[in-house]
Amino acid sequence: MIFTDFLKALAQLPDPRFRRVLWLGIGLTIALLVGAYALILWFIEATTGEGIDIPGIDGPVTWVGDLLGWGSLGIMMILSIFLMVPVASAITSLFLDDVAQAVEDKHYPRLKPVPRVPFIDGVRDTVLFLGVLIGANILALFIYAMLPFMSFAIFYGLNGYLLGREYFQIAAMRRLGREGAKELRKQHKGQIWLAGCLMAVPLSIPLVNLVIPILGAATFTHLFHRLNQR
């Protein structure tokens, strides 16, 4: 059933409204990745006074010069494996309302319109969640060190749980409010966790991960409506 939700989201790509949000999401995702990469290069140069040597790139990687070089493309693709989980979290607060509305207009036209989640509330929830996400992943580093053979399973399991929790909560809040969304999420936490894991895996695949935040928002909108009918 989760795959059915994803296929419905994928099938809506030709929809002009959906495609517009998708391209905006991809653009912002790239901008966030470039910004994160620029911050990393700046931090390295500011703290060491020089660049850092990276295999495959001639000379040390420095702040502005290498940010604008072709070698940065490959580095950003590698970094996207680690950065796309928090980036996906940031994208959802900005675009989930638009994605959900496009999905509902096409697949659930009998539903009454709902007011948009206030921008400040969305930003606040996202900042709080990012704190939880980053903190949980920092703590997980110690577990990776103790159980290296389990690192991939722990990474996907942890981030799948966190992403599923956030995406579903935001999708459900539009129709049920904060408490109603929380209650429904508790009733179906296993299925939501699995959907989050299935979202976390392609987020670690360069280029593919650019479209996953928006497709994930659409998938979780379908998931919410399916679970809410039970």
Instruction: With respect to residue 124, please indicate whether it lies within any of the assigned structural domains.
Output: yes
Percent residues over pLDDT 70 in the chain: 81
Instruction: With respect to residue 45, please indicate whether it lies within any of the assigned structural domains.
Output: no
Question: Coil, helix or strand for 174?
Answer: helix
State the pTM of this model.
0.80
**How high is the pLDDT of residue 63?**
46
**Inter-axis angle of helices 151-187 and 119-146, to 10 degrees?**
140
Nearest to 4 by CA among 182, 223, 202: 223
Q: Is the pLDDT of residue 218 over 90?
A: yes
Question: Tens digits of per-residue pLDDT, 136-184?
Answer: 888 888 888 888 888 889 889 998 998 999 899 889 988 998 899 999 9
Q: What average pLDDT is seen over the chain?
A: 81
Domain count, the chain: 1
